[in-house]
Amino acid sequence: MGMKGAQLDYYPSANEDSRVLFLVLHYTEESWDDSLRLLARDRAAGGGTVSAHYLVRDDPVKVYQLVDENRRAWQAGASYWQGTQNLNSASIGIEIVNPGDKNLATGVRNGQYAPYPAMQLDAVVALVKDIVARHHIKPDRVVGHEDIAPDRRRDPGPFFPWHRLYEAGVIAWPDAAQVGTKTAEFATALPSVEWAQTKLGKYGYLIPVTGKLDEHTRNVISAFQMKYRPAKYDGELDAETAALIDVATTPGGMRMADGKALN
């Protein structure tokens, strides 16, 4: 039975939290005009079938809200993170105007990613901090589209400065000393692909344990590398990558900027 039109008394319960569990970062792969058209207009008006809660323009830098945070934006698509599927219902999405590795003149992806303007990044970091603080989003739930859909997405790409979010106290980072020790250890003998798949599944990715370095496994490893070692994201399980994976999934390995352990 509905309560439309009724006068309701409000007695707030202490047993509640935000419906927003995740924050997902994207780049648009389009110019400003095309980004706005695709994200804000419906198909009948020449737009697309996707949206996001926020759109951060590159020039001039400005933050636009396209969808109310209490409503679902169509930004994550088929996705998975830490046991949750189809993250649209439980996430806020930020789209950043940036072509990624797409040549906007030809529409062809060439693997050459575009950098983000410094002022645009400043705006993104400030927005992320605000959203995370208001919704109490956990550090390991601030993710890129490439994390939750690694077979079809690469955004926000290798030029997105995840380390700045670590410095801002938003996400955790693998402890450098532990990574150094483990890199030396794994330089002698690399762990198996099965080991890496198990660890990456524990970290949050949807990854079957097959023992084979197949295309999906490479895509997952590459997404992980783009975040923590963006200088080389070839999807190969080398010693440094194995060390980062190990430290990221070991209690006490992930640290916040204040030195506190995440896990």
- What is the rounded radius of gyration, in angstroms, for the C-alpha atoms of the chain? 20
- Residue appearing with tokens 């700045």: 164
The answer to whether 191 and 242 have CB atoms below 8 angstroms apart is yes
Ordered strands of the 22-27 beta sheet: 61-65, 54-58, 91-96, 22-27, 142-144
Tell me the longest C-alpha to C-alpha distance in the chain: 71
The answer to whether the CB of 155 falls within 8 A of the CB of 101 is no
Question: Residue 185, exposed/middle/buried by CB under 10 A (0-12, 13-18, 19+)?
Answer: middle
- In the 8-state DSSP scheme, what is residue 115? P
Report d(CA 160, CA 162) in Å as an integer.
Answer: 6
**DSSP state, 141?**
G
| Residues forming the active site | 95
What are the structure tokens assigned to 258, written together?
């204040």
Quick one: CA dihedral 237, 108, 33, 71, positive or negative? Answer: negative
DSSP state of 192: P
* Amino acid found at 152: R
The burial class, CB within 10 Å (0-12 / 13-18 / 19+), for 77 is middle
